[in-house]
Each structure stands twice: as structure tokens, then as C-alpha cells.
Amino acid sequence: MHQDREALLRRLHELRSEHRDLDTVIARLETGLGDQLQMQRLKKRKLKLKDEIAWLESQLVPDIIA
């Protein structure tokens, strides 16, 4: 179980890093005359990453029985 948690944490770190990198790329494209299709793809990827990050975070939080 400890190894599974460590794997989830590593994956979470990778996804957060990619999400930040996409922020930078999108910001650069927005300041210039970037390709709109590429911009849409990057934003879609960023949203997918956000969903994956949220799912991983929910897996790392223990269930609390009220």
C-alpha cells in the first residue's frame, strides 16, 4: 500500500508539473498571434490534467466515516 501511495504521489507531481508548463505555453501563445487550434488543444489537455489531478488527490485522501 505504501508503494501505491508513493506511485500516486509521483504521478500527481508529474501532472502538476505538466499543468504548470501548459500555463506557461498558453500564456506565451496568448500574448502573440498563436495558432488557435493549437491553443484549443493545449487548453483541452490542461483541463484533462486538472481532472486527473483531482482524481488522484481524491485517491490520496482517506475516507472519513462521519
Query: 19-55, pLDDT tens digit by residue?
Result: 999 999 999 888 877 788 999 999 999 999 999 999 9
Q: Name the residue ranges covered by the structural domains of the chain.
A: 2-58
Cα–Cα distance for residue pair 9/7, rounded to 1 Å = 5
Q: Do residues 20 and 65 lie in contact, with contact meaning Cβ atoms separated by under 8 Å?
A: no
pTM: 0.82
pLDDT digits (tens, 9 = 90+) for 2-14: 788 899 999 999 9
H or E, element range at 49: helix 36-60
pLDDT at 65: 67
Residue 66: pLDDT band with limits 50, 70, 90: low
pLDDT at 20: 97
